[in-house]
A and B are shown apart, each in its own frame.
Chain A
Amino acid sequence: MRIKSSIFFLFSFFIFFENNAQVIGSDSITNEPMNTAQNILSGNGGRITVSGYGQIDYNQQFGDTVNHNGKMDVHRLITFFGYQFSEKTFFVTEIEMEHVKEIYVEQAFLQHNINSFLNFRAGLLLVPMGIVNEYHEPTTFNGVERPNLDGKIIPTTWREMGVGLSGKFDNASLKYQLYLMNGFLSYDGSGILRGTDGFRKGRQKAAESIFTQPNLSSKIDFYGIRGLKIGLAGYFGKSQSTAYEGLDLSNENDVSQADSTIVGTSMLGLDYRYNFKGFQSRGQLIYANNSNTKAYNTYTGKDLGETFLGYYIEVGYDLLRLGKKDFDQELTLFTRYENYDTHHSVNSDMIQNLSYDRTDITIGTGLKLANGAVIKLDYQHFLNKEETTGARKQFNAGVAVWF
């Protein structure tokens, strides 16, 4: 009775909010019917939005005793399609072609705005953690390649199926996201998560993904100080495993074996972005703690670390500000110091692999020709705690576009 009345109460509440807003995006009769293409091209009035980005790279390793071939790659080419059903309801998709031949769906979700501080979202979502996972358009970050911390610890682009709420409080300059999401796959007959890149192989990417238990993902962003944005993110839950399929739950031995195939993860992330005139800076601090790694590594023969720790700090300056004339173009000089360790600590049976404690130094430049079009050049210096023979060196050049 109590539950029923509560549901009824909530429902009435929902209707109340709904009726207080006009829906203007309903079908209208027009004497100029448009097809899909015209609808897209009409821009402002259209309900379909198309957007895209591209990242085209040249990577050349050099500086050691052996020869290295360069790599030329249309790394990512992406199309966004958005469709607005009504003023409050829309659907967003992000379809990605990687390395010319791999196709992925990176986002596909339905959003309904109940009011400005309460939006409902469901589908394939990005996990809000750090900066680049959510804002991965290549013109929004410095350097040809994404920071490696956003790859080895945060498995960018990290996306899974999920459902949840988001919203903002304008006067407090706060934005929040809170989702229940599917977790990493840690076992599919053999172990998946490993020492060198932690969760990366475990991303299910919503491709017939296996679900055993939900994970919680949340982020709060504060942007009330001019030019500054600070984010705090948390991710908590357990990995998913095929070992539970068809399991007789009364068989303790089987259950305990299946329990050895999952890992519990708590990840915390702090990030900031700051801009003032020509100066820009950003940074991230990410910490992850994995439980059950001893049982997992023993059972699967993997070398997953118990804790991960990584951070980077980046500063840049737009040299064209010195000339004071034309601000439509930018020539940004930047440097980034990055440290990420996926064996920050390991379970008692294991020895830390020092080669997983890595430091990258990147120095580079980006020439913004127009809003959304950047030519990038940089030099990267890769070090790790184990290697004593010197750093791996790489030169990168690339084209980045976003429209």
Chain B
Amino acid sequence: MVLKKNMKSILLLITLSLVSFPTGDIDWLNSNGRKKLEQSISKIWKDQIITKEEIKIPLATQKLIGSKVKDQSVFKIVVDQKTEGFLFLDSKRSKFDVFDYMVLLNKDLTIKKVKILVYREDYGGEICSPAFLKQFRGKSYDSEIKLGQDIQGVSGATISCRSAISGIKIITKKAKILKKEGYLN
């Protein structure tokens, strides 16, 4: 009897479990990461049409930057047909794994928002806390971003804190060079 009653919900769940989520334009990011990314951006520009336009970086420019820029990792954010900023996606190492994160830059290349999109292990998961990530707001390539000085780390998550800081620093550097080269307009 109870089984019959639950049958509907069970069937619904099974159906839902078989439906795969639509693939976004960032194939390397998993579905949870894509979901988090969309949520973070749409929270900033509520009820507006937001499009992400990928900026492809040629190999020569990547060499100039001094680090690889993978496909689907640099985007222009256009809101109601106006450029509002730039989105950088990246992965960095935590203790035993890698985590994926986004850095959203204003048009003047200062940091608007940092969010950890996928964190895969227990160690260092504290860096996903908004209290930690908020500290990057307003920083740019010209700012000092040092752990323990400009950014207070989270105890027990030092490796991931350092990793996030080094990744974010590289992104601000990339942005500065890309702007100079005319990619971020």
Which A residues are closer than 8 A to B by beta carbons?
1-2, 4-5, 8-9, 12-13, 15-16, 18-22, 24, 43-44, 49, 51, 82, 84, 87-88, 90, 92, 111, 113, 115-116, 119, 121, 131, 134-135, 140, 166, 168, 170-171, 173, 175, 221, 223-227, 229, 273, 275-278, 282, 318, 321, 327, 371
Contacts A20-B21, A223-B126, A327-B148: A49 and B96 contacting too (C-beta < 8 A)? yes
Provide 30 A-B residue pairs closer than 8 Å at the C-beta atoms, listed in order of the A residue.
Answer: A1-B2, A1-B3, A4-B3, A12-B10, A12-B14, A16-B13, A20-B31, A20-B32, A43-B93, A51-B96, A87-B30, A90-B97, A90-B121, A113-B120, A168-B125, A170-B116, A171-B130, A173-B130, A175-B125, A175-B126, A223-B126, A223-B155, A224-B129, A226-B152, A275-B153, A275-B155, A277-B149, A278-B148, A282-B155, A321-B149
B residues within 8 A CB of A119? Answer: 122
Judge whether A5 and B155 touch: CB under 8 Å: no
Complex: A229 Cα to B125 Cα, angstroms: 13
B residues within 8 A CB of A173? Answer: 126, 129-131
Judge whether A84 and B2 touch: CB under 8 Å: no
If over half of A's interface residues share one DSSP class (helix, strand or loop), that class is named, otherwise mixed; here it is: mixed
Using CB atoms, name the residue of chain A closest to B1.
Answer: A1
Using CB atoms, name the residue of chain A closest to B92.
Answer: A44
Which among A1, A18, A22, A51 has the greatest number of chain B C-beta atoms within 10 A? A22
Any A CB within 8 A of the CB of B81? no
Return the contact of B96 from the options A8, A21, A82, A221 (Cβ within 8 A): A82
Q: How far is the CB of B98 from chain A (nearest CB, A)?
A: 7
Any A CB within 8 A of the CB of B56? no
Q: How far is the CB of A62 from chain B (nearest CB, A)?
A: 34
Return the contact of B17 from the options A8, A16, A135 (Cβ within 8 A): A16
Complex: A44 Cα to B32 Cα, angstroms: 22
Contacts A20-B32, A223-B126: A51 and B10 contacting too (C-beta < 8 A)? no
B residues within 8 A CB of A8? Answer: 3, 6, 10
Contacts A1-B1, A16-B13: A92 and B152 contacting too (C-beta < 8 A)? no
Which among B16, B96, B119 has the greatest number of chain A C-beta atoms within 10 A? B96
Judge whether A275 and B152 touch: CB under 8 Å: yes
B residues within 8 A CB of A82? Answer: 95-96
Return the contact of A229 from the options B31, B116, B146, B154 (Cβ within 8 A): B154
A residues within 8 A CB of B138? Answer: none
A residues within 8 A CB of B131? Answer: 173, 223-226
Complex: A273 Cα to B154 Cα, angstroms: 9
Judge whether A19 and B97 touch: CB under 8 Å: no
Complex: A24 Cα to B101 Cα, angstroms: 17
Any A CB within 8 A of the CB of B44? no
Using CB atoms, name the residue of chain B closest to A113.
Answer: B120
A residues within 8 A CB of B30? Answer: 21-22, 24, 87
Complex: A49 Cα to B93 Cα, angstroms: 11
Complex: A227 Cα to B161 Cα, angstroms: 12
Any A CB within 8 A of the CB of B20? yes
Judge whether B96 and A92 touch: CB under 8 Å: yes
Any A CB within 8 A of the CB of B173? no
B residues within 8 A CB of A12? Answer: 10, 13-14, 17
Q: How far is the CB of B145 from chain A (nearest CB, A)?
A: 11
Contacts A16-B16, A44-B93: A5 and B6 contacting too (C-beta < 8 A)? yes
Using CB atoms, name the residue of chain A closest to B121.
Answer: A90
Using CB atoms, name the residue of chain B closest to A278.
Answer: B148
Any A CB within 8 A of the CB of B139? no
A residues within 8 A CB of B156? Answer: 134-135, 140, 221, 229, 273
Residues of B131-154 at the interface with A, using a CB-CB cut-off of 8 Å, are: 131-132, 135, 146, 148-149, 152-154
B residues within 8 A CB of A224? Answer: 129-131
B residues within 8 A CB of A321? Answer: 149
Contacts A88-B120, A90-B121, A225-B131: A21 and B3 contacting too (C-beta < 8 A)? no
A residues within 8 A CB of B10? Answer: 8-9, 12
Any A CB within 8 A of the CB of B158? yes
